Amino acid sequence: MTSSSDHGILWFNKSSVKIGEIERYVITFQLYDDENGLPADLSLNSLWLRIRNIENVTFRAAYLMGPYLLYCDVRTADYHHSQHLFVSADQPKFEPTLQPQQDFYAELSLHNLKKTYVWIVDVASQIIFTNTSQIGFEISIGSSKKSLENAELSSHPLASSSFSKLSVTRLDTLDQWNLNDHISPHANQKEHLVVLTHGLHSNVPADLFYLKEQIEKCQKYYNDEQIVVKGFTGNVCKTERGVKYLGTRLAEYVVQELYNDRVTKISFVGHSLGGLVQAFAVAYIAANYPWFFEKVDPINFITLASPLLGIVTDNPAYINILLSFGIVGKTGQDLGLKEQSEAEKPLLYFLPGEPTKTILKKFKRRTLYANAVNDGIVPLYSASLLFLDYQEVLQQLQESPDFNQKLVTTTPAEFIMKNFISPISKAISLLAPQKFPESGSSGKIPKVSVIESAASILIPPVPEKSYIMDPATRANVIIHDKLYTEADIPARNSQSEKQLLGSDNMLLRTFVANSEKSCQNLEEDIARRWHEGLTWRKVIVCLKPDAHNNIIVRRRFSNAYGWPIVDHLTQNHFNGIDTEPCIPDSEVGAPDSNDLEYDNSWVNFTDKRSLFDVGPTGMISTVTEMLDSLSKNSPMLNRNSSSSRRRGSSFDQDQLFKYELEKKDLTGDPL
């Protein structure tokens, strides 16, 4: 048998990723060494990379069991988005939606005469709804693109290289999230724990990986402590079960798993639903582990596009009905401001009360990031706690190059319809983590299925080439950055409040025009509770679609429009300056002990649990987990394990796909 090098295949590996998993391959090519100097037969011909999604082509339609899509990118090791790339060969290459049986090719250029070349390749799972499915893929390096196209790679040995100049290091998800713990020179020093929390139908390891890496790069500002960035993975595929359920699990993870004697500081960063979850986690820790915030100094409390006031008045009536009925489980009821079973107020009303408020006052910085436009999931008023200088925000928005023409050439009603009211997008966003506006959309609800919607949702708008290569082409997207104290909030029944609630500002018109005044009043009450005795820094941004996921750079290049936001977050919150509080110490006071005991009761109040708390999409994960557990404990089902390739579950995934298409139950009987 001839060696793979005879066919131009220099390296080959086969692997797979589940939900939230991301693999990294560090490719090192030694062009020449100093001892021998330049060889006579030195070649500067490019190498080629191929990544292939090896799942069956029929899985392209298996959205609810997947989707079986991969995100992959390749860049040079010294690449940084702040650099101006003059040579197109240095431009990063990426594919946001690599479908089953599709290939991604990238040229690894050797256009400079230098001793060593290093490239970094990332491959991430795009699975959303289930934690049992896997996506298999092959990654190979060849001396030419033709050699990769013609080779039968499945016959090559795994993780092998036949070229001495080439070496490849593979890092799985755990490696990348724990590597700094082992190699940091600050391992024996005090720790600043940074907890990242994901949103609905999302995950920490892959979706917040870019944010994690950028925060870790701020270690250079800290000589006396180690930044440790972590996130709780136990809530993946469980995000429909309610804020209290998710926050309780996060809090226990922080106290029981992450805390140690070296942890002296803590910061929380939450995206979307994660902002509410981390707020409840703070309350839960304060109520059940009161010693924690006496030993650990709270530094940053940051939310990004979080529905802190719910999503009621920005929704059509039928969406609110679906929320109350549990279309996205208990979480949907929380966001719809449905009252708790034995309380007159919803959970989001109690959340900014005690003990949350007392602990929030201890944080050195409290910052809200909110999208002004292009976020079809969380409205501006909810992410910014309602009270905001909307006129200044609108003025800055009108001066933005990307939105100026749209604001001038369309009527206010059309602008609101395209940018702030998208009823079908709200329905879809409750079932998936992304939303991408469609051009020419009207107020009528299109007749589409959930599967069809999911297919379009997972095709992200790709940033322009100039945006990635030239920082000078990137407009300033931070249009408002201001501290708001309690004194800035208009008094009840004042003229300022009437002007706010009666405003014709198009950024607030959906809130003002809502007919459900009771919900509007409730949202205002919640907003006021968040501001009592607290100073908030509100950063309003103007991002291109998909703004809700761009704001955290969910994927490094397909969500690159969010780079400036992550830069702003890291530069202003992890810059080595943690000594100046954003509020005077005199404002920090403990509530009366009797009030504290009364207010704490809502934290540990146990809701009645139901299987249907998870909602329709949550049932997908629940059922597949049950099947996975049954297959591992059933001798009959275990006989099929040998035919299940590369999968953690021994249940045949093809059968699950067949069930999805034919609407049969798991016994094969028609429903």
Residue 117 structural domain: 4-171
Same-domain pairing of 304 and 441: yes
Residue 510 lies in a domain: no
Q: What is the rounded CA–CA span in Å between residue 250 and residue 302?
A: 16
Phi, psi values for residue 350, rounded to 5°: -75, -25
**pLDDT tens for residues 76-96?**
999 999 999 887 888 999 999
Q: Is there a domain that residue 372 lies in?
A: yes
- Residue 643: both structure tokens together: 């035919």
Q: Report whether pLDDT(184) > 70.
A: no
**190/138 same-domain check:** no
Assess whether 562 and 671 both reside in one domain.
Answer: no
For residue 413, being part of any structural domain is answered with: no
Number of Cβ within 10 Å of residue 456's Cβ equals 14
As to burial, measured by CB atoms within 10 angstroms (0-12 exposed, 13-18 middle, 19+ buried), residue 606 is exposed
Do residues 195 and 71 both lie within one domain? no
Which amino acid, residue 511? F
Lowest mean pLDDT among 199-203, 301-305, 420-424, 447-451: 447-451
Determine the Cα–Cα distance for residues 85 and 36; give it in Å rounded to an integer.
Answer: 32
Q: Is residue 342 domain-shared with residue 437, that is, in the same domain?
A: yes
Tell me whether residue 615 is in a domain.
Answer: no
Domain boundary among 123, 142, 171: 171
Burial of 58: CB neighbours in 10 Å, binned 0-12, 13-18, 19+: middle
User: Same domain for 145 and 184?
Assistant: no
What is the pLDDT confidence band of residue 172, given thresholds at 50, 70 and 90?
very high
CA distances for 279 relative to 109, 183, 216, 352, 366, angstroms: 47, 32, 23, 8, 12
Q: Looking at the structure, do residues 62 and 209 belong to the same domain, yes or no?
A: no
Give per-residue pLDDT as tens, 445-457. 223 233 333 333 4
Which two structure tokens, joined as six digits, stand for 546?
A: 């998909």
**Are residues 65 and 208 both part of a single domain?**
no
Predicted TM-score (pTM) of the model is: 0.83
Please check whether residue 502 lies inside any domain of the structure: no
Q: How many C-beta atoms lie closer than 10 Å to residue 173's C-beta?
A: 20
pLDDT of 615 higher than 50: yes
Mean pLDDT value of segment 556-560 = 95
pLDDT for residue 406 is more than 90? no
Q: How confident is the model at residue 519 (pLDDT cuts 50, 70, 90)?
A: confident
Q: How far apart are CA 362 and CA 365, in angstroms?
A: 9
| Confidence (pLDDT) at 595 | 46
- Examine the domain organization and report whether 134 and 227 are in the same domain: no
Q: Are residues 79 and 218 in the same domain?
A: no
In this predicted model, what pLDDT tens digit does every residue of 328-343 receive, in sequence order? Answer: 688 888 898 887 655 5
Spatial distance between the Cα atoms of 63 and 457, rounded to a whole number of angstroms: 11
Burial class (CB in 10 A: 0-12, 13-18, 19+), 165: middle
Identify the domain boundary among 171, 188, 204: 171
Give CA–CA dist 187/190, Å, rounded. 8
- Do 430 and 324 form a contact (C-beta atoms < 8 A)? no
Please tell me the least confidently modeled range out of 420-434, 472-486, 542-556.
Answer: 420-434
Residue 246 lies in a domain: yes
Q: What is the pLDDT of residue 216?
A: 96
Q: What tens digit of pLDDT does each residue of 219-277 get?
A: 999 999 999 999 999 999 998 999 999 999 999 999 999 999 999 999 999 999 999 99
Name the pairing type of β-strands 536-541 and 225-231.
unpaired
pLDDT reported for residue 187: 58
Residue tagged active-site, from 133, 267, 272, 384 = 272
pLDDT score of 411: 45
Name which of 597, 588, 603 is nearest 352 in CA terms: 603
- Reference 216, options 225, 227, 224; nearest CA is 227
Q: What is the chain's alpha carbon radius of gyration, rounded to the nearest angstrom?
A: 26
For the question of residue 272 being annotated catalytic, the response is yes
Residues 164 and 73 in one domain: yes
% of the chain with per-residue pLDDT over 90: 52
Choosing from 171, 201, 222, the residue where a domain stops is 171
Domain count, the chain: 3
The answer to whether the beta carbons of residues 49 and 110 sit under 8 Å apart is: no
More confident residue, 40 or 484: 484
| Within a domain: 412 | no
pLDDT in tens, 119-139: 999 999 999 888 889 999 999
Domain CATH number, residue 90: 2.60.120.380
Q: Give the residue among 278, 204, 269 at the shortest CA–CA distance from 247.
A: 278
More confident residue, 30 or 667: 30
Q: What is the pLDDT of residues 481-501, one digit of tens each?
A: 999 999 999 998 888 888 887
Tokens representing 331 are 């979480």
* Cα 212 to Cα 218: distance, rounded to the nearest angstrom: 10
pLDDT at 625 (0 to 100): 57
* Residues 554 and 659 placed together within one structural domain of the fold: no
| Alpha-carbon span 41 to 43, nearest angstrom | 6
618 found inside a domain:
no
Q: Is residue 428 classed exposed, middle or buried when 0-12, 13-18 and 19+ CB atoms within 10 A define those classes?
A: buried
CB 155 within 8 A of CB 60: no
Could you tell me if 387 and 531 are in contact, meaning their C-beta atoms sit under 8 angstroms apart?
A: yes
pLDDT digits (tens, 9 = 90+) for 426-446: 433 444 433 333 333 333 322
Do residues 52 and 15 make contact, with C-beta atoms less than 8 angstroms apart? no
